[in-house]
Amino acid sequence: MARENWTSSIGFILASAGSAIGLGNIWKFPYMAGTNGGGTFVFVYLLCVFLIGLPVMCSEMLIGRVTRRNVINALGKIELISSSTFGRNILCFLAGAAMVLFASIHAWLLAGASLIGAVAFARKGFAAVGWVCAILSFAILSYYAVVGGWIVEYIWRSLTATFTDIEGVTAIEVAKQSTAEFGAYTANPWRVLIGFAIFMALTGAVILGGIQAGIERVSKILMPALFVLLLVVIVRSVTLPGAWEGVVFLLKPTAAAFSPKVIMMALGQAFFSLSLGMAITVTYGSYLKRDQSILHAAGWVGILDTLAALLAGLAIFPAVFSVGLDPSAGPGLIFGALPATFATMPLGAIWATAFFFMLLIAAVTSSASLLECTATVLIERMRKHHKRCTRRCAVWIAFITCSLAGLLSVFSTADWTYLPCVEKGVRWCLGSLTQGNWFDTLDNLCSNWGLPFTALIIALLIGWVYGTRRAKINLLSSDASKNPPKWLLTAWGISVKWIAPVAILIVFLTMSGLLKL
């Protein structure tokens, strides 16, 4: 079967931006900034995006374009290693996964795990990392869809004007009440389950529509609309009384708030927001034509994604400070701040509905990219082993397994009440990595350990094994007029070879306690 190609460069950029811009920008970025020191986090985040995230993104697109395969096959293929067997892949995958897990649980195991990892990589290791990526995208979708479900719920609430229809009540009271309501809502998993199911169904529906028809068309229309709506909310938010404090909190770094943990959180958030950790961008890159410049495409995606995150921050924090919410409230932050903002706008219910609707679409384009990745891996894997697996069947398998895995997050977004046995198991396996409930633990594991780990491997692979010289040629477009200036290429080379690997390693070593700064 011939693989489809992106019809145009702009289509590719928009689809990649559609994958990148989602709940990570509008829900996660503000709450991460709030819990990690505001301006300091934002400053470190920007450094992470431009010094590490974008170069890694280029590398991923490159791997996709050079190999024209899904992530597992691509990594095994990139002119490093000869033919492979399925069993060996699985072995190496286990070694790789063990490396990710154990390295972070008990610091003293890091050395041993790295040794196993090193041996695994020497024999087919990169394909093994491909499996880690595929599993990461699967795991991320399982909790991402829960947050997507919250958005579905909030569309319903704004349609029925639950939080905007409040004559004579001040924004401060609305904020307090919405925060309490959000807590009550997430404590009731049956209600959360409804939103989750709707969100998963939407994601499945987009993917069954096919790459170009589904993702490209949807993101072309609705992404600009989301930006416009964000601007509207910002205007309201910064004109609330006492809003300026929030702007200062978001944009002014302070030395006191700085810590190695901030770097780790910012790095993880950068990879999460840019959809890195290779699964997605490799798959997308594999559809990219030779005459398109990767540096250009990645640059645009990075700028749009960062802009969306900063705009979301500007929409949330002025309101947070104006109504006296706690900026470090965690995952529920925007569900306290946004209703309060909308409640003080004329026609608030309409704005709120439109906003949550756009956010839902942005979230679906992101979750679709996650499901797409899992499905693509399934299809190509099955085909390799001569089994008949149509695209439709692969999407169904991915969809059903992921929905089941997501139930764990659905039933533990508030606490472990519904899953006491799982709690015991998770605490036993993960030790100090267990953060609150399953939802938070999985998020921490995937974004702060898993994604940087795969990014590290990608950087090492391109920078040291494949080689930046060969890579630089392939990064360019076959059409010379579309190429970026030389210094950008040089900077890219330095980053994948030195800056990205060293930074990620230092973060890992510090966070696992092996290195004291």
Residues that bind ligand TRP (CB under 6 A): 19-20, 22-25, 137, 140, 272-273, 275, 277, 280, 366, 369-370, 451
Pick between residue 45 and residue 163 the one whose CB is nearest to ligand TRP.
45
Q: How far is the CB of 309 from ligand TRP (least distance, A)?
A: 8
Residue 4: how many other CB atoms lie within 10 Å: 11
In the bound state with ligand TRP, the residue whose beta carbon lies nearer, of 70 and 177, is 70
**How many whole angstroms separate alpha carbon 62 and alpha carbon 460?**
14
Distance from the first to the final alpha carbon of the chain: 53
Residue 33 and residue 268: Cα distance in Å, rounded?
12
User: 105 vs 279, which CB is nearer to ligand TRP?
Assistant: 279
Reading the block at residue 457, the tokens are: 């491997």
Please report how close the Cβ of residue 283 comes to ligand TRP at its closest, in angstroms: 10
> Closer CB to ligand TRP, residue 22 or residue 30?
22
Smallest separation (angstroms) from ligand TRP to the CB of 58: 16
Q: Rounded to the nearest whole angstrom, what is the least distance from the CB of residue 447 to ligand TRP in the complex?
A: 7
Phi-psi region of 84 (alpha: psi -120 to 50; beta: other; left: phi over 0): beta
The residue (of 314 and 349) whose beta carbon lies closer to ligand TRP is: 314
| Nearest partner of 69 among 3, 164, 148, judged by Cα | 3
Nearer Cβ to ligand TRP (18/348): 18
List C-alpha distances in Å: 104 to 158, 349, 369. 41, 45, 27
Could you give the C-alpha distances from 493 to 51, 170, 301, 452, 471, in angstroms and in order? 11, 54, 19, 18, 9
Distance CA 426, CA 433 (A): 9
Minimum CB distance to ligand TRP, residue 399 (Å):
16
Q: Which is nearer to ligand TRP, 70 or 275 (CB)?
A: 275
The answer to whether the CB of 268 falls within 8 A of the CB of 451 is yes
Classified as helix, coil or strand, 426 is: helix
DSSP secondary structure, 205-274, as one string: HHHHT-IIIIIIHHHHHHHHHHHHHHHHHHHHHHTSTTTHHHHHHHH---GGG--HHHHHHHHHHHHHHT
- How many CB atoms within 10 Å of residue 460? 19
Q: Which is nearer to ligand TRP, 17 or 507 (CB)?
A: 17
Please state the closest distance from residue 374 (CB atom) to ligand TRP, in A.
Answer: 11
283: left (phi over 0), alpha (psi -120 to 50) or beta: alpha
Least separation, in Å, of the C-beta of 368 and ligand TRP? 9
Question: What is the nearest approach in angstroms of ligand TRP to the Cβ of residue 20?
Answer: 5
User: Judged by CB, which is closer to ligand TRP: 158, or 366?
Assistant: 366
Roughly what angle, to the nearest 10 degrees, separates helices 9-20 and 294-322? Answer: 40
In Å, what is the CA distance from 366 to each residue of 17, 46, 140?
9, 21, 11
Q: How far is the CB of 338 from ligand TRP (least distance, A)?
A: 17
Nearer to ligand TRP, 198 or 280 (CB): 280
Residue 8: other Cβ atoms inside 10 A: 12
- Nearer to ligand TRP by Cβ, of 334 and 349: the residue is 334
d(CA 56, CA 510): 22
Q: Cβ closer to ligand TRP: 403 or 448? A: 448
| Dist. CA 42–CA 316, nearest whole Å | 14
Q: How far is CA 235 from CA 59, 243, 506, in A?
A: 38, 11, 40
Nearer to ligand TRP, 110 or 451 (CB): 451
| Least distance between ligand TRP and beta carbon 335 (Å) | 16
CB of 23 to ligand TRP, least distance (A): 4
As measured in angstroms, the least distance from the Cβ of 243 to ligand TRP is: 26
Q: Contact at 8 Å (CB) between 137 and 349?
A: no
Closest residue to ligand TRP, judged by C-beta, is 24
Burial of 447 (0-12, 13-18, 19+ CB in 10 A): buried
Give least dist CB 136 to ligand TRP, A.
7
